[in-house]
Amino acid sequence: MTPYIVDASIAPQVWTWITTRTGVQVWSNELVGSATGPRMTPVLDPDGQPNTQKPHWSCGKIDLVLTSLNEVEVSSSRELKRLRVALRRSGNGLSLKLTDGSAARARKACQDLRPWSCPCGWTGFAKGLKYVPVPNTRAEEAVCPKCKKGETLVEGPEPWFTPVYDGEHPEVAVMVEDRLVPLETWIKENNHAT
């Protein structure tokens, strides 16, 4: 069975419901065009009775019941870097935006910090790649800094940046999706279980 993927923000809740309430019910979203996504409820209510109450009026039916920790994987992101940025008022004056210079620097950091890997074991960022000329052309190709091969390199997920307001100096954090981890492993790593 393909594991069901949940965001790290709800992983502790899912873990608790599977271990203490028999499992998690995943409800369909009937609201066409909404990005709310599925909502979840525990299989049993706190009194141990079957819990059939829809969590929200936009929910349709129960699509899936997850009863084993092995059925769930956790998707988490990690921070790669922080950048000090400058802000300006947007056109209507109501919101703040990055200045053009700061936006360009943040986009460049996202490109530079895109993870790459090679089956030989090398992992690194786009900015750490070596380039060599392709014979008989004017082009260059990226090669693995360790095994020097080009065709085996694998590009990882694209980073994004998100605002962080830390004291008086606005900053953005460059984030990237981390590996998918089995739910049980994630809980252990993040010390939610005892």
User: What is the C-alpha separation between 53 and 41, in angstroms, rounded?
Assistant: 9
SS3 category, 187:
helix
Between residues 3 and 124, which has the closer beta carbon with respect to Zn ion? 124
Report which DSSP code applies to 48.
S
Shortest Å distance, C-beta 123 to Zn ion: 10
Is the Cβ of residue 120 or residue 193 nearer to Zn ion in the bound state?
Answer: 120
**N-to-C CA span, the chain:** 28
Cβ proximity to Zn ion, 4 vs 122, nearer residue:
122
Mark the segment that binds Zn ion (CB under 5 A) among 1-9, 74-82, 111-119, 162-170: 111-119
User: Does position 144 bind Zn ion by CB under 5 A?
Assistant: yes
Confirm or reject binding of residue 120 to Zn ion (CB under 5 A).
yes
> Strand 4-7 and strand 72-84: pairing?
parallel
122 belongs to the binding site for Zn ion (CB under 5 A):
yes
Stretch that binds Zn ion, among 49-57, 68-76, 84-92, 136-144 (CB under 5 A): 136-144
Under DSSP, is residue 43 helix (H, G, I), strand (E, B) or coil? Answer: coil
Burial class of residue 194, CB neighbours in 10 A (0-12, 13-18, 19+): exposed
Task: Point out which residues bind Zn ion (CB under 5 A).
Answer: 118, 120, 122, 144, 146-147
